[in-house]
Amino acid sequence: MALKVGFIGAGKIAQSLIKGFTNAGLTAPQHIIASASKNDVSDLEVIQKLGCTATTKNTAVVRQSDIAVLAVKPNIVPEVLAEIRDVLEPPKLLVSVAMGITLRKLESSCLENAHVVRVMPNTPCLVATGATAFASGRYASEEDCELTKSLFSSVGTCYQVPESYMDVITAISGSGPAYMFMTLEALSDAGVRHGLPRNLALKLAAQTMLGSAKMVLETGQHPAVMKGEVCSPAGCTIDAMHMLEKEGFRAALMNAVEAAYLRTREAGEE
């Protein structure tokens, strides 16, 4: 029996997950339904172009799906949950990818014994290289957790974690693609500045990032050790490392993660 997946919210993350799930063969477009407000015409059009059912009714998404993915902005989560509360009857699973919204808040807005899982995916799910973490609610079953892990493992890696980890995970892997894209842009800009064609500079930078990440994952070595192996005595790379340290490269990344983490915490408290 085909898995029916519903998305409440049809923005970028929902679109990435839809493409990822269908590309992975986990479900088919005709078994996916997604909702958006009447004002989000472009999102509704994208959903239709993907071959899925588009609607403006959130309750229709819940009724017509085996698993409902809550993919809306944090500030409208209470409004949406109030709307779908009576049709989201246990054991139907609610998967929330809403930034910062705690399991406690989700469960308190649903029917008693609601099956809820809080998930943080990222946009590389689109190309089956996503990094996802999830935490299960009080009444989520082992089968719910297995289904969540199966869904998100089909589009990358997926880890079950304590909920206390979720805000910083949001700041690292949820927001992380933006940090990587900015780094790639800067590297390709540097290549262009020194005479490389834009397309070549970008491809070299992207492949270098991809290969470096793969080395870390497959060797299990600490990045500091691997960095040291690239830095020859009196070579160009150690000069580059000195400049990055001088310019506060690592501190800037750590500060960026902290800013994202604090914003995630704020969103959960609003």
Query: Residue 128 belongs to what H/E stretch?
Result: none
Say if CB 70 and CB 94 are below 8 A apart.
yes
**DSSP-assigned beta bridge partners for residue 55:** 35
- Alpha-carbon distance of 189 to 33, in angstroms, equals 41
Question: Any binding-site annotation on 73?
Answer: yes
**DSSP-assigned beta bridge partners for residue 134:** 119, 160
What is the per-residue DSSP string for 42-111? HHHHHHHHTT-EEES-HHHHHHT-SEEEE-S-GGGHHHHHHHHGGG--TTSEEEE--TT--HHHHHHTS-
Cα separations (Å) of 92 from 9, 69, 95?
18, 11, 10
Place of tokens 């299960």: 136
Question: Any binding-site annotation on 74?
Answer: yes
Q: Nearest 5 degrees, angle CA 87-CA 88-CA 91?
A: 130
Say if CB 119 and CB 145 are below 8 A apart.
no
Question: Any binding-site annotation on 58?
Answer: yes
User: Phi first, then psi: what are they for 52, rounded to 5°?
Assistant: -100, 170
Say if CB 158 and CB 152 are below 8 A apart.
yes
Question: Any binding-site annotation on 39?
Answer: no
User: Phi first, then psi: what are they for 256, rounded to 5°?
Assistant: -65, -45
Residues in the annotated binding site for NADP(+): 71-74
Residues in the annotated binding site for NADPH: 58
Residues in the annotated binding site: 58, 71-74
